[in-house]
Chains A and B, each alone.
Chain A
Amino acid sequence: MDLAFTPGEQAFREEARAWLAAHVPTASLPSLETAEGFAAHRAWEAELAADRWSVVDWPVAYGGRDAGLVRWLLFEEEYWAAGAPGRVGQNGISLLAPTLFDHGTEEQRARVLPPMARGEVVWAQAWSEPEAGSDLASLRSKAVRTDGGWLLSGQKTWSSRAAFADRAFGLFRSDPDAAKPHQGLTYLMFDLRAPGVTVRPIARLDGKPAFAELFLDEVFVPDADVIGEPGQGWRIAMAATGNERGLTLRSPGRYRAAADRLHALWRDRGGPDGMRTRVADALIGARAYQVFTYAAASRFLDGASLGPESSLNKVFWSEYDIALTETALDLLGAEGELADTEWAERYVFALAGPIYAGTNEIQRDIIAERLLGLPKGRR
C-alpha cells in the first residue's frame, strides 16, 4: 500500500495548480442558476478548454489530456482548492460523455464531445417524469418511429440546468408492447430549441431556475442521435447512473476544499463547544471520502467495476454535504440567514443531494439488497 503520488503525478498537480492560480477569477462568478451566471460559466469553460483543463481524463482527440483517473482526482483537488467556479457543463461531462465513450458511435463522439468540452453546448439531463422519479422504469414519454428518425412526445421534469442549456439526453418508450417496463426504452439526445420543445423553468427553494419542465410535442430526432441500439436504453442508462452516484459526479476534492474553508471560518470566528465537534467531523468526513475514493480508484484500476458500491458514495456525500453547509451557516450566525452568500448557495444546492441521482431511500434499498443480501420485500 502506498499513498504517495509518482513524480509525474506530482508534476501534473503542480502544473494544474500554477495554471489555476493564474486563471481562476478573483471575484466569484454569479450563480450558474441565473442567465447572467450561466453565460459567465460558459466563458469559464471555454477558458479551461483552451488550455485543455476542462476534461483532463478524456482522450486528446476530444480536448482532453488522457490523464487517467488518478490525475483526474489530483486535478479536482487543485481545482476546488483554488476556489474555481462550479462546472456548468457537469451533466454532459459526467453523465453523457461516459455513456458515449462506452456505447456511442465514433461519429457521435467526434460531433458531441469537443463542443461539450468547450462549453459551447451545455447539456441537461432529462430522466424524470411527473410519474417516474425513483421508479424510472415507469416512464411514459414516447419515441415513435418516423422517416430517418424518431418523434418524441411527452413530458420530462426536474431537468437540471435545462432552463439555460442547449441540448438534453434521456430515455423514451419506443416499444409500448415490451414484456417488462424497463424493456422497450431508447436512449436519445435532442435539441432543447427544436420545434415542438417547450421549456418551462422551475424555481427551486431560493427562487433560482435550477431546473425545468420539458414539454415535447412530436420533436424530431434523427437516427444519428440514438445512443446504442433502440430498445436497449435501460441497460445503457443504468451504466450512467452508476457514474452519477459514484465518484465522477462528486469528486472528493470538492469536499476537501469545502471542509478546509469551514475550518478556516471556524478559526476566524470561533463558536460554542458544540461547533468544535461539527467542524472536526467535517474535516474527518472529507478525509474519509478522500481515502474511500482512493481505495475505490485502486480497485477500479485493478479492473474491478464499481457497481452497487456507488450507492455508498451517494448516501455519504449527500448527507455529508448538508452537514457541512449547515455547520457553516450556524457558524455565520445572523449572517447565515443571508441568501446571497456562497455558503447559502452551497447549502441550497446540498439540500437536493439526498433527492436527486436516485433518492437515498432507493440507495439504501440497493445497499441492503445488493451489498448485504437482504431479501426484497415490502417497501
Chain B
Amino acid sequence: MRLVLDDEQRAFTDSLESMLTGADTPSVVREWSRGEHGSGRALWSRLAAAGVFALAAPEEYDGVGVRPVELALAFTALGRHVVPGPLVETIAAAVLLPTPDLVKRLVSGETLATVAYGGPYALDGDAADLCLVLTPDGLHAATGHGPVRPSLDPARRLTTLTPGALLTSEPPLAKALLLARLTTAAQALGVGLALLDQTVRYVRQRTQFGVPVGSFQAVKHQLAAAKTALEFARPLVLAAAVTLDPADVAAAKVTAGEAAYATARTALQLHGAIGYTAEYDLSLWLTKARTLRTAWGSPEECRDTVLSAGDPHC
C-alpha cells in the first residue's frame, strides 16, 4: 500500500502547472466564452504536446495506454487553471472511438471532440471538430449542432447534437464513463484548491478595522472547513484512479464536487461584493464549481452508485 506520488508523477504535475501558470488562462477563458476559440486551440495544442490526451489512448494509437492516476493529476491542474473546452469529453472520445485515425488526431491535439450522453446538451459543440452522440444503439457521429445556449459557467457553451452515422454499436461505455467521471472529479478538486488559494491570499491582504480580515476567527474557520473538505477529497480522487472501482470513482466525484462547491460559496462570501462581479477573475472558478458538480454524474446519481455497489473496499 502506497498512496503517494512518485518522482515522475510529481515532475509531470509540476511541468504542467508551470506551463499553465504562464499561459494566462483567465484571458483564454474569457475569449472562449465569447466564442473566440483561437487562444483556446493554441493552449489545447500545448496540452497535447505535454501528453495530456495521450493518457487516454493505447500505444498503437500514439497514446501511452490509459493512465488514470496521471489523468487525475492532469485534470486537477486543468481545474486549478480553469482551462476551458471539452477536455473531459475528448478523453471519453479517445476511449470510445473505434477508429485509430481519429484517436491519433485527438492525441495530437489536432481534433477537439465532444460527446452528448444522458442529456440533451453537449459541451462546446460549436468548437469541437468531432461531435459524438451516445444512444442506446451505440456511438454515433453527429450531423450538426443546434444553437449555442449559455451555461451558468460562461466558459461552458452548450449545444444539442443530431445523431447521424453509427460508428460502433458496442463502444466501451462503462470505461469511458468511469474516466469521464474521474477526470471531472479531479477537475473539480483543482477548481476548489484554486478557490481556496485565491481566497487565502485575498483575506491576508484585505484589511478592515485596521487588521487583515484573515485574522478574524469567523473568517478563519470557514477557510479551515474548506481546507478540511478539500484535503479529504484529494486522496479519494487518487485512490479512485488507482482502483477504478465504480463506487470509489462515484465517492470521489461526490466528495470533490461538494468540496469545490462549498469552497466556491466560502470564496464568494469572503471576497464580498468584488467576488460577485464578472470582471474579477474569481468568477471564472466560482461558476465552474457549480457546473462540474452535476456534470458526468450528479451527487445523487453518484450516491446511488455507492449504495448499490455495497462496501467500497480496496
Chain A residues in contact with chain B, CB under 8 A? Answer: 1-5, 9, 70, 260, 263, 276-277, 279-281, 283-284, 287-289, 291-292, 294-295, 297-299, 302, 309, 312, 315-316, 361, 363-365, 367-369, 371-379
Least CB distance from B170 to A in Å reads 30
Describe B's contact surface by its main secondary structure: helix
Q: Say yes or no: B238 contacts A377, CB within 8 Å.
A: no
Q: Say yes or no: A367 contacts B1, CB within 8 Å.
A: no
B198 at the interface (CB under 8 A from A): no
Give 3 closest A-B pairs by Cβ, nearest first: A377-B215, A280-B303, A368-B220
Q: Say yes or no: B3 contacts A295, CB within 8 Å.
A: yes
Q: How far is the CA of A287 from the CA of B310 in the complex (A)?
A: 12
| CB-defined contacts of A315 to chain B, threshold 8 Å | 224-225, 228
Least CB distance from A57 to B in Å reads 15
Q: Say yes or no: B307 contacts A279, CB within 8 Å.
A: yes
Q: Say yes or no: A281 contacts B228, CB within 8 Å.
A: no
Q: Say yes or no: B236 contacts A291, CB within 8 Å.
A: yes
Closest chain B residue to A73, Cβ basis: B1
A281-B303 in contact given A1-B242, A373-B200 (Cβ < 8 Å): yes
Closest chain A residue to B240, Cβ basis: A291
| CB-defined contacts of B300 to chain A, threshold 8 Å | 277
Q: Which of B233, B310, B311 contacts A288 (CB 8 A)?
A: B233
Q: Which of B1, B204, B251, B306 contacts A3 (CB 8 A)?
A: B1
Q: How far is the CA of A3 from the CA of B243 in the complex (A)?
A: 8
| CB-defined contacts of A369 to chain B, threshold 8 Å | 220
Which of A5, A277, A375 is the most central at the interface, judged by chain B CB atoms within 10 Å of its CB? A375
| CB-defined contacts of A376 to chain B, threshold 8 Å | 215
Q: Say yes or no: A284 contacts B239, CB within 8 Å.
A: no
| CB-defined contacts of B223 to chain A, threshold 8 Å | 368, 372, 374
| CB-defined contacts of B233 to chain A, threshold 8 Å | 288
Contact with A along B215-242 (1 / 0, CB 8 A): 1110111011101100111111011011
A-B CB contact pairs (8 Å), 5 listed: A3-B314, A9-B1, A276-B307, A283-B311, A284-B306
Q: How far is the CA of A280 from the CA of B308 in the complex (A)?
A: 10
Q: How far is the CA of A309 from the CA of B174 in the complex (A)?
A: 37
| CB-defined contacts of A309 to chain B, threshold 8 Å | 231
| CB-defined contacts of B238 to chain A, threshold 8 Å | 1, 291, 295
Q: Say yes or no: A375 contacts B236, CB within 8 Å.
A: no
| CB-defined contacts of B220 to chain A, threshold 8 Å | 364-365, 368-369, 372, 374
Q: Say yes or no: A1 contacts B5, CB within 8 Å.
A: yes
Q: Which of B2, B215, B219, B232 contacts A292 (CB 8 A)?
A: B232
